[in-house]
């Protein structure tokens, strides 16, 4: 079974003051961290979905295929649909560029859940479902149809709880989003 990595990195990062894909943490742009997360976690190929500042993000995507999301301004749903359309694999792990504390072990656990038969697997932290998520190819049409605005797979996952396996990742990562410069400063201080 092939499991692709799908990194959603198209947003403008309005609250951050610029695209999060270009934000650096420990000297590394978040888009590169996301590609490494999926690659080390065992995903192949890795596809990065870009939108805002695509020309600046593209050179940072070594080792990944890049897809530009039409209508990326409308939110995460457009990025997710563009990414799913670009894939030819049995499943994919969907990760967000602004969650740098997710580790490759999280991705490995989601892939293991799929190997055990899960059609959808969601990383949980402290009992709460977050990202990344794994989606079997059989779910992609439904997920794409249910995605609206700035909501990706969440709506479909809530509508089909019988198909979703929750994978506890509390011990191997954190789902913290970097949404603002204050979030970034706090993370830099905590990891210094």
* pLDDT higher than threshold 90 for residue 66: yes
For 34, phi then psi, to 5°, come to -65, -40
* Rounded distance between C-alpha atoms, residue 178 and residue 176, angstroms: 7
pLDDT at residue 107 is higher than 80: yes
- Which residues sit opposite 91 in a β-bridge? 3, 136
Give the closest residue to 34 by CA, choosing from 70, 54, 63.
Answer: 63
Q: What is the pLDDT of residue 164?
A: 97
Q: What is the CATH number of the domain that holds 124?
A: 3.90.550.10
Predicted TM-score of the model (pTM): 0.96
Instruction: Compute how many other C-beta atoms are within 10 angstroms of the C-beta atom of residue 2.
Output: 13
As to burial, measured by CB atoms within 10 angstroms (0-12 exposed, 13-18 middle, 19+ buried), residue 155 is middle
Handedness of CA 10, 11, 12, 13 (dihedral sign): negative
Which percentage of the chain shows pLDDT scores above 70?
A: 100
pLDDT tens, residue by residue, 3-29: 999 999 999 999 999 999 999 999 999
**Which stretches of the chain are assigned E, i.e. beta strand?**
3-8, 24-25, 28-29, 46-50, 65-68, 91-96, 120-125, 128-136, 164-168
- Mean pLDDT of all residues in the chain? 95
pLDDT at residue 54, as a whole number: 94
Range of the structural domain that residue 42 is part of:
3-191
Q: Residue 149's pLDDT is what?
A: 85
pLDDT at residue number 16: 94
Rounded distance between C-alpha atoms, residue 138 and residue 90, angstroms:
8
Q: For residue range 119-164, what is the model confidence (pLDDT) as tens digits?
A: 999 999 999 999 999 999 999 999 999 998 888 899 999 999 999 9
- The contacts of residue 169 (CB under 8 Å, 6+ apart) are 102, 105, 106, 109, 123, 124, 125
Q: How confident is the model at residue 73 (pLDDT cuts 50, 70, 90)?
A: confident
Q: How many domains are contained in the chain?
A: 1
User: 109: closest CA among 75, 90, 140, 132?
Assistant: 132
């Amino acid at each position: 079974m092939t499991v692709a990595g799908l990194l959603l990195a198209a947003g403008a990062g309005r609250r951050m003051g610029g695209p999060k894909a270009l934000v650096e943490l420990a000297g590394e742009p978040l888009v590169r961290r996301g590609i490494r997360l999926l690659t080390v976690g065992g995903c192949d190929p890795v596809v990065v979905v870009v939108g805002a500042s695509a020309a600046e993000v593209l050179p940072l995507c070594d080792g990944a295929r890049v897809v530009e999301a039409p209508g990326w301004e409308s939110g995460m749903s457009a990025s997710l649909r563009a990414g799913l359309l670009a894939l030819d694999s049995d499943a994919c792990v969907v990760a967000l560029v602004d969650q740098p504390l997710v580790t490759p072990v999280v991705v490995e656990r989601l892939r293991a859940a799929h190997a055990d038969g899960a059609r959808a697997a969601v990383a949980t932290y402290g009992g709460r479902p977050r990202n990344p998520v794994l989606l079997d190819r059989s779910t992609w049409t439904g997920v794409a149809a249910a995605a609206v605005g700035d909501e990706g797979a969440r709506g479909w996952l809530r509508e089909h709880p019988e198909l979703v396996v929750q994978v506890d990742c509390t011990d191997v990562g954190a789902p913290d989003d970097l949404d603002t410069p204050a979030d970034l400063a706090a993370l830099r201080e905590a990891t210094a």
